[in-house]
A and B are shown apart, each in its own frame.
Chain A
Amino acid sequence: MLTLSSGPVIAQAGTPSFLDVDEATLRFRHASPLSPERHLHLFMGSGLGWSDFDRDGDFDLLFCQGAPIEMMAAPDETPALRLWSHDNGRFAESSPSAALTGTAYANGLTIADYDNDGFADVFVTGLFSAALYRNNGDGTFTNQTHAAGITPHGFGAGCCWTDLNADGDLDLIYVRYIVADRKNYPLCSVNYKGKAVAISCNPRKLVGAADSVYHNRGDGVFEDVTAVWGFAAALSRQGLGCVALDLDDNGVTEIYVANDSSPNDLWTREEAGAWSELGLIAGVAVNRFGASEAGMGIAAGDMDGDLRPELFVTNYFNETNTLYRNEGNLSFLDVTQEFGVAAPSRNRLGFGVTLSDFDNDGWSDLLIANGHVQDQLAEVGITNEPFAQLSQLLVNRQGKRFEEASTKAGPFFTKPGVARGTAAADIDGDGRVDVAVLRLNDRAALLKNVTQDAGNWLAVELQGTTSNRDGIGATVIVRSGPQAWRRDRMASASYLSCDSPVLHFGLGAAKTVDSVTVRWPSGRHEVFSAVAVGQKYRFVEGTGIPMPR
C-alpha cells in the first residue's frame, strides 16, 4: 500500500483531496542546482511520465532528470532518465542495467509503443541531446536514436508521438525551445543599484528554435519530414508543451505547441496532405487581447460537456492562464474570464497542468503546478513574485466555470514549491486519479487521490490493430442516458510530460453505461457495449468486445 506522509486521511466529501506519499514510498529527487550565471535551462526543469513498462499491471514512473551546469561541458547526447518501478504500492529505482544511462539534462518525454511490439518505448528531449529508447520487454531499454535516424540537437523541449499520416505507425514531433549551444549559451543580468544580478534570460529576447517532425517508416527508421510535410514553413518559436489530438473531429490529428512569449502554433493537415500552421486564425495563438503569452504547459480535453476538446495553456506571472473554448470547425474562443480561470492564475507562473475528473462528478478538473523562473527578483527590487509558489486545484462546476479549491485539496497545495511537469494515473486502481508532480531541484511529489464520496467511473485502455497499437489519436465517447463524456488518447500532456495510457472517465451519478464509441486513428468507428461502471477495460480494435482488466 502507498504510505501517506501526512497521517490519517481527512478528506472533505465532494471536494477533490490529495495526500502526498512519503519519501519512503518514492524518493526521486530532481537535480537542477542553479548556476551563478542562472542558466535558463536550470529553471525550465523537466517532465515525467507514467506507463507500465514491464507489463506487470502497475504503472511505473519515468522521470526526466536534470544535471548540474558542469555536465553541460560533457558532450553527452543522451538525456538522463530515471525509471522508478512500481510494485504493489512501492517505487524502487531501476538498476543501471535498464540501460537508461544518459547524463545530459533531460527536459521532456513522450511514451508510446512506436514499434507496435506491445511494450512502451520512450523518446526524451534534453539540453543539446535527445534519445529514442526502445523497450526490450525484459526490463531493459536500447538506445536506438542514431539507428533510427534521429538527430539530437538544440535545446529540446516538448515531444509527442502521434500518427500523422494514419499509416498505423507513430510519428514523432520533437519541439525545441531557443537557439543555443554549448559555446553560445545566452546569459543575462540586470544592473540594479550599481550591482549586476544574474537572471535567467527572457525568452522573448532570444531566438526561437525550429522543431522537427519525423516520419516513422515502420521498419525502425525515421525520416525527417519537417520540410517536405510543410512544418518548416512557419516561424521558429520558443516551443515548450506539445499535444496531438483531433480537435475538429475530421479524423485528422492536430498538433498544438505552447510557445513561450510568442504565438502558440496549431498545425493541421490540409486535404492535399501538407501541414499548415493555423494558430492565429483558429484563435489559439494569442489571448483575447491579441497578445502572445508565455505558453508553458497544455491541457486538452472537453471541459464544458459539448464533446469537443478545449485547450488550456499555462502562462507567466501577471498573465493569466488561458482557456480556449472549442467552437467547432477548428475555431476557438478565449473564455478565460468567463470560466473563472483568470483571477486564480494572475499571481502564479504556471507550468504543468493536468486535466482529469478527480472527484468523478462527470466534469474534468484542473491541477496546476506553479513556480517562477527567477529566484533573485527580490535582489532587483521585485518582491511580489516569489520563486516558490503554491500549486492549485480548480474544480469544474458543471462545465460552466472553474472554482479554486486548493485550500481544501490537501497539504501539498499549502506548501510553496517550484513545480514543473505533472502526470496523471490511477496507480492503485481505486477509480480515483492520482498525480505525480516534478519539482525543480527537489523531491518529486506523488499525490494520492483520497477524495471521499467520489462518483462512478470507468477506465479504458485501447489496443489498436490496424491503428497504432496504443491507439494514440483515438477519441472515445462514453454514453449514459442523455449524458456523454469524451477522452482523447494522447502520448503527451501537461508540461513536457505524459499521462498513463488509461483513459479515465468520471461518470457522476450514472450507474450504467449505454455504450462506448471509439473512433480509431485508422478511421474505424467501433461501438463497445455491455460495459459496467467502476471497471477498467481494454478495447481491442476490431473486436467490439470489452475486455475487463
Chain B
Amino acid sequence: MSEPISSLAQIPDPKPSGWGAWCLCLVIVAAMGAGGGWLLQQRWLKQPLIQARTLSRSNEQQAVREYQRYLDQHPHDGTVRLELATLLKRRDPDGALHELRKISPKDVPYLDAVRQAAAIALDLGRDYDALEPLLLLAEQRPDDAGVRLALAELRFRARDFEAALESAQRARELNPQLPEAWLVEAEALDELKRSTEMVAPLEAALKIDGEIPQAHLNLAFAYQLVGREEEAYEHAQWFLKRFPQSAAGYRTLALVQRARGLTEEALAAVQQSLKLRPNQLDAMLLEVELLLYLRQTEEAYQRITQAYQLHGAERRVLTLLVRAALLAGHRAESQEWQQRLDRLQATEPDA
C-alpha cells in the first residue's frame, strides 16, 4: 500500500526547537483542496437560458458561445455571467475570472461572484488573488464558516500562522462539524510552537470523522508530546494498520516508543521507516539519537556522517555530529565539527 496522501512524502522544514518539526503537516494539503469547494456550496441558478443551459451539458464550447451572445445583448445580467463563469472555470479558469470581474457590485449575485473568484484563485494556487475577495466576503458574511476556513488555509499557506489560527478557530465556532477547520487549527498551533495544544482540535476532528488517517497520526504525535504515550501508541497503531508501508507512520511510532521508554523498539521502528524511505533527515536524526542513547556510538557516527553527506550542514546535523564524534572517541573530529557548528551559529543564531 502506498502513502495515503502525497504530503506524507514530504519532510517538513527544520525548526529551531526541533520537536515542532515532527508534526507531519498531513492535513493541510487535503484541507487546502477543499478550500474552493467550501466556498461553492451555495448555488445561484436563476433565469432560464434554455439553449445555453441545455448545451452546457453536451457541448460546452457551443454553450459558451450562446452565453456570450446573450451577454452581448444583456451585458448587465450578472446572474447569467456567473453561470458562464461557472461553466468556464474548469476548462478556462482565467476566462472565468475575466467574466466574474465584469459583475458589478450593484448586481444581485455580486457576492456569489466574489466567492466564485476566490474559489477559482484558490484552485489555481493564486492565493494573493484570492485574499481580497475572501476578506470582502468575510466582511459581508461574517458568519460564513466556509469563508473563514478558506481564509485560514490561505493564511496558513502565507505562513501567517496567528491569523490562520484565528480564522480556523472562527470557522469551527461557526460550524463545529467542519473537521477541516479543526485540522487547520491543529496545524497552525504546531507552527506556532504550541504543539501540545494540538490534542484538543485533533480529538475534535476525529470525533466528527473517526476515519481521518492524518488526524490519527498527528494525534499520535501530539499525545507523545504531552505524556499520553499509551494513547499515542494506539493512534500510531491505528494508522499503521491501514498504511503499513508508511514511512511517516513508522517514524511517528518510533517517537511514541521512545516516549514510552522503549528505546530498542523505537530504534526498530525508525529503521523500518528508513527502509521504506531512506534518507529522510528527521528519521536519520532520530536513529542517531537512539543509537547514541543505546551507546552504539561508532554506528551513530557513521549514520550521522551519511546524513551530513546527504543533507549538508544543518544545525541539527552538526550538533549530532559533534556529539557522535566525541562519544565514539573521535575527539579531534568532534572539535572540527564544533568549529563548523560555531560558524553556522554565528551566521544563524537561535531564533
Contact = CB atoms under 8 A, between A and B. Distances in A.
A333 B323 contact: yes
Contacts of A261: 350
A291 B326 CA distance: 19
Nearest to A339: B261
A347 B197 CA distance: 10
A335 B335 CA distance: 21
Interface in B1-49: 16-19
B326 A288 contact: no
Contact of A338 (B19, B226, B229, B263): B263
A400 B196 contact: no
A320 B225 CA distance: 10
Interface string B319-350: 11011001100000011001001100100001
Given A288-B289, A333-B292, A343 B322 contact: no
B293 interface: yes
Nearest to B341: A290
Contacts of A500: none
Contacts of B263: 338
Interface residues of B, number: 38
B317 to A, nearest CB: 9
B312 interface: no
A363 B167 CA distance: 49
B76 interface: no
A288 B318 CA distance: 10
A327 B323 CA distance: 11
A400 B319 contact: no
Given A340-B261, A401-B261, A289 B319 contact: yes
Contacts of A287: 18
Nearest to B20: A318
Contacts of B225: 342-343, 346
Interface stretch (A123-131, A269-277, A278-286, A469-477): A278-286
A400 B318 contact: no
A281 B258 contact: no
A266 to B, nearest CB: 13
Contact of A291 (B17, B224, B258): B17
Among A320, A346, A384: residue with most chain B CB under 10 A: A346
Among B19, B293, B295, B327: residue with most chain A CB under 10 A: B19
Nearest to B315: A290
B157 interface: no
Contact of B326 (A283, A289, A335, A338): A283
B89 interface: no
B313 to A, nearest CB: 11
A404 interface: yes
Interface in B178-209: 193-194, 196-197
A281 B18 contact: no
A337 interface: yes
Contact of B194 (A204, A318, A319, A401): A318
Among B17, B196, B323, B342: residue with most chain A CB under 10 A: B323
A331 interface: yes
A372 B293 CA distance: 32
Contacts of B17: 289, 291, 318-319
Contact of B196 (A292, A331, A338, A346): A346
A67 to B, nearest CB: 33
A344 interface: yes
Contact of B18 (A280, A291, A331, A346): A291
Contact of B293 (A292, A338, A344): A338
Interface in B133-191: none
B227 interface: yes
Contact of A343 (B224, B334, B351): B224
Interface of A: 204, 261, 280-281, 283, 286-292, 318-320, 327, 331, 333, 335, 337-338, 340, 342-344, 346-347, 384, 400-401, 404
23 contacts: A261-B350, A280-B341, A280-B342, A281-B326, A281-B334, A287-B18, A288-B18, A288-B289, A289-B16, A289-B19, A289-B316, A290-B315, A290-B319, A290-B345, A333-B293, A338-B258, A338-B293, A340-B227, A342-B225, A343-B226, A343-B229, A346-B196, A347-B226
Given A289-B16, A289-B315, A333-B323, 6 more contacts: A280-B322, A281-B326, A286-B319, A288-B18, A346-B226, A384-B197
